[in-house]
Structure 1
């Protein structure tokens, strides 16, 4: 199965910051006006003529990007939890501040995606990200030849050269 990985468009956290949301509440941030335009431009790419299904991360910025794509293309949309952003706290029991999440990401990058036994923060490892995404895709491999997936930069780094991906950037992978 061919999969077009698409990074969500440009987010804004102004509204969630104004509301005083921290930790996972930050994931409720939507797109900037420019982000909406970028998503609309992405939606007009010829690749969507091949796409039979669009999967989206449940985070607002990904869902809003996927919404703009399906507005321009007659393709069904399904939300998949397994396509979520990297987790600075995979236990889900803490409410991390931006500083704690930043510290977790710094450790994640320093250890090249590995979580060491001595890590003070229970962040999600690169191997865990890739395994959950592949498990998600495996549910669709027998039924679809080509899907698109609106997800996050860190997810996309697991399927390529580990470089940053632009907003609405696309990577193509093959999943058996």
Structure 2
């Protein structure tokens, strides 16, 4: 990534997971990622666009999840710039092998492993998830693939933004500058 280029990371707006419940069991588990934004989430995305307006971004790049794509589309439309989909901006995954079924119990255990690693610094030898450094590298590599004539906006997820910026708090539709 060009160190002189400005990159802003935006967390998606509030997702409407409840809206999917009437389609049960189709949208349970990992398919929750199809949830659109709530009305509040739409207003949050529009507010993020206003916050970014003065930066004059050339391109908005979004994770492929519905909540990030919708947030990115609202921002791009408000700012009159191109929207691109970037699969590498996906959320932190408890198990990176998408072929294996993931249960709630597996997710709970993997989150416990991750949090234990964050406290102790000791990586489990059989880990299936990314470290913060690996997520941050993934974001930088993804941004390097997107050439633009001005600043970039990347719409992604809380864990990804925390890893790339060292932010302690990443609120819904909050805007952060990628500095490392």
**Is residue 147 of structure 2 the alignment partner of residue 147 of structure 1?**
no
Q: 1:42 aligns with which of 48, 64, 81?
A: 48
SS of the equivalent of 2:166 reads coil
Q: 2:139 aligns to what?
A: 133
- Stretch moving more, 132-141 or 164-173: 132-141
**Is residue 165 of structure 2 the alignment partner of residue 157 of structure 1?**
no
Q: 1:12 aligns with which of 9, 13, 16?
A: 16
Q: 1:116 aligns with which of 102, 110, 124?
A: 124
Q: Is the 8 A contact 1:3 1:172 kept in 2?
A: yes
Q: 1:60 aligns to what?
A: 66
Q: 1:167 aligns to what?
A: 172
Q: Is the 8 A contact 2:19 2:35 kept in 1?
A: yes
* RMSD of Structure 2 on Structure 1 (CA): 2.1
Matched length: 172
Q: 2:97 aligns to what?
A: 91
Q: Please, which runs of 5 or more residues in structure 2 have no aligned partner?
A: none
Partner Cα separation in structure 1 for residue 168 and residue 71 of structure 2: 21
Going from structure 1 to structure 2, the CA distance change for 1:116 and 1:52 (only over 3 Å counts) comes to: same
SS of the equivalent of 2:130 reads coil
Q: 1:2 aligns to what?
A: 6
SS of the equivalent of 1:150 reads strand
Q: Could you tell me the TM-score, scaled by structure 1's length?
A: 0.86
Q: Is the 8 A contact 1:57 1:81 kept in 2?
A: yes
If each structure's helix is expressed as a fraction of its own residues, which one has the higher value? Answer: 2
Q: Could you tell me the TM-score, scaled by structure 2's length?
A: 0.84
